[in-house]
Structure 1
Amino acid sequence: MAQNSAIEWTNATWNPVTGCTKISAGCDNCYAERFSERFRGVPNHPFEHGFDLMLRPERMEQPLTWKKPKMIFVNSMSDLFHKKVPNSFISEVFETMERANWHVFQVLTKRSSLMKRFVNTRYRDKPVPSHIWLGTSLEDHSKRSRIKHLQDTNAEVRFLSIEPLIGPPGELDLSKIRWVIVGGESGPFARPMQLSWARSARDQCTEQGVPFFFKQWGGFRPKSGGRELDGREWNEFPKVLITSKMPDRQIIASG
């Protein structure tokens, strides 16, 4: 848990689950795994068990104690929809998010089909509340099926994280998508992102009227290459139904 986050598109992180397993090429150089494994075997450290999947019920109500509205990235160190996370535990996470409705929660998964199944069962008759944003992550054109899963998920605010972008994004159908984040990979084995790939994603967002956020070029460190694309920073955010919930530092964009 962190009440403040260095991630450019959020304010805080909340990790009721930690640890994960790899499912596609975008996971190859996972920053969360690299960080967690540094502490494997350290007694009483939060990551004493490295990147093994761990449920953290003691963290379940943390957002309820944060009285100032925040944008909260859910499970920055895991994937809420990992197949080994019980639906009952996921339900508790959603109950907390529903109760803490003065925050905006950003739920991001690579397991988009499992998210769709859970959400469409839980919210059979109405969409997920608009302060809970649901997103999926893809790394190149080969994972665009995740977009379709997201589009078929009963939510009001859907977003894409195209990070790390390690190949051409291909043609993107952004219907029902309210926000797109793009970023390059960081770390000692970072794979470079091509300018044409970043431009392709941005131009398709512009053409389809979807807010675009360019997080980083990446490199050995996250900020190695800066954040400018074609001479400017792209810091667009989706318009939310209750804009007073958005922290002051966020930039509101239409879409």
Structure 2
Amino acid sequence: MNIHKTKIEWCSHTWNPVTGCRHDCPYCYARRIATRFGPKIDEFPDESGITAFVNEGVDCYVVEKPTELKDWQGNYRRSTPYPKNFAPTLHKYTLTYPEKRLTPATIFVGSMADLFGRWVPDGWIEQVFDACRRAPRHTYLFLTKNPQRYCDLASAGKLPTEPDFWYGTTITGPDMPFFFWDKVNTFVSVEPLLEPFDTEATGGENPFERVGWVIIGAMTGPGSRKQQPKREWVEAIVKKAREAGAAVFMKDSLKPIWGDDILREHPPGMIGGDNSG
């Protein structure tokens, strides 16, 4: 759960103070990773640093220290960052990591979770925000499929407005809602792109007028070959982003569709992250 250099193209590092999600997306890469590295059937997590509770009908966990896995005789097997697999988990011991990293980085916060899912307690989110505020040298990128949570936090005065905080929404088509607010930096991640954003689909409106950044990616993983977007879908998004003045960032998954000259733009003023470890 440390701050790690990442292969995710639009940031330099990831940090996962919270892991787990209950959206049950069929194309979820994070669930596959948690299942791979979480406890196997013959491995048992050390429960001494783990607290369990229920929030919004969902089992949640707080982990105070890195978790060891043991066999049925109590012998050490290995450590795991996912002691409860993909159940929502706050890793409290990681909340000091941003301030310990001295080199500025562009950090995707919660690549293994939806930090703003309805099941995540406000207290968890506030603790993560506080940890970010203690290290303003970094740029923090948040991403959710539940943008209403941003609205709720903003209405309650709990959404930070610092310029190094960027709030993103994942969408896959033009009918999905996303968050924008003129007091904060916002972006959208159109990934996987599953539907066209042409004039007919958007009702003649430009959906990107209120955001500063548009990330575009195709579906990857099992079954993705039948779910690839058309080039004209990507062209329509780029055109609308250009008209809105938003920067465009294409993920590597678009190279088979767009070519090697994919767009790799960042919004003006976004701090460039260090790509060292």
TM-score by length of 2: 0.76
Q: Which residue of 2 aligns with 1:135?
A: 168
Q: Distance in 2 between matches of 1:82 and 1:208?
A: 29
2:158 and 2:268 map into 1 onto residues whose CA distance is 22
Matches within 5 A, 1:56-67: 56-67=91-102
Task: Kindly provide the amino acid, as one letter, of the partner of residue 7 in structure 1.
Answer: I
Q: Which residue of 1 aligns with 2:55?
A: none
State the partner residue of 2:192: 164
Structure-2 separation of matches of 1:157 and 1:201 = 20
Take 2:237 and 2:122, find their aligned partners in 1: how far apart are those partners?
Answer: 34
Corresponding residue of 2:146: 111
Amino acid aligned to 2:28: C
Query: Displacement of 1:120 after TM fit?
Result: 3.2
In structure 1, list runs of 5 or more residues that go unmatched. 219-224, 250-255
Secondary structure of 2:80's aligned partner: coil
The question of whether the paired residues in 2 share the 8 Å contact of 1:119 and 1:128 is answered with: no
The alpha-carbon deviation at position 92 of structure 1 amounts to 1.0
How far did 1:46 drift?
1.5
Q: Which amino acid letter does the alignment assign opposite residue 237 of structure 1?
A: H
Identity across matched positions, percent = 29
Residue-pair matches, total? 229
CA contact (8 A) 2:11 2:273 kept: no
Radius of gyration: which is bigger?
Answer: 2
> Match of 1:89, SS?
helix
In structure 2, the CA distance between the partners of 1:197 and 1:85, relative to structure 1 (3 Å rule), is same
Task: Tell which has more relative contact order, 1 or 2 (C-alpha 8 A, sep 6+).
Answer: 2
Are the structure 2 counterparts of residues 35 and 202 from structure 1 closer, same or farther at C-alpha, using a change threshold of 3 Å?
same
Tell me which of 171, 187, 194 is aligned to 2:230: 194
Aligned-partner Cα distance in 2 for 1:248–1:61: 19
| Distance in structure 1 (CA, Å) of the matches to 2:158 and 2:124 | 16
TM-aligned CA distance change 1:154 to 1:62, over 3 Å = farther
Which residue pairs with 1:252 in the alignment? Answer: none
- Match of 1:232, SS? coil
Kindly indicate whether residue 36 of structure 2 is the aligned counterpart of residue 38 of structure 1: yes
Counterparts of 1:46 and 1:13, CA distance in 2: 14
The answer to whether the 8 Å contact 2:126/2:158 transfers is no
Q: Within 5 Å, which residues of 2 pair with 1:76-115?
A: 76-115=111-150
Q: Separation in 2 of the partners of 1:123 and 1:45? A: 32
Counterpart CA distance in 1 for 2:84 and 2:194 is 30
C-alpha displacement of 1:115: 1.6
Aligned partners of 1:81, 1:64: CA distance in 2, in Å?
A: 22
8 Å contact kept, 1:116–1:154: no
CA distance in 2, matches of 1:247, 1:39: 27
Moved over 3 A (4+): none
Q: 1:184 corresponds to which letter in structure 2? A: A
Moved more, 128-137 or 199-208: 199-208
* TM-score, length of structure 1 as denominator length: 0.82
- Alpha-carbon distance between aligned partners in 2 of 1:33 and 1:118, rounded to the nearest angstrom: 26
| CA–CA distance in structure 1, aligned partners of residues 167 and 83 of structure 2 | 30
Letter in 1 for 2:191: E
User: Which has a greater percent of strand?
Assistant: 2
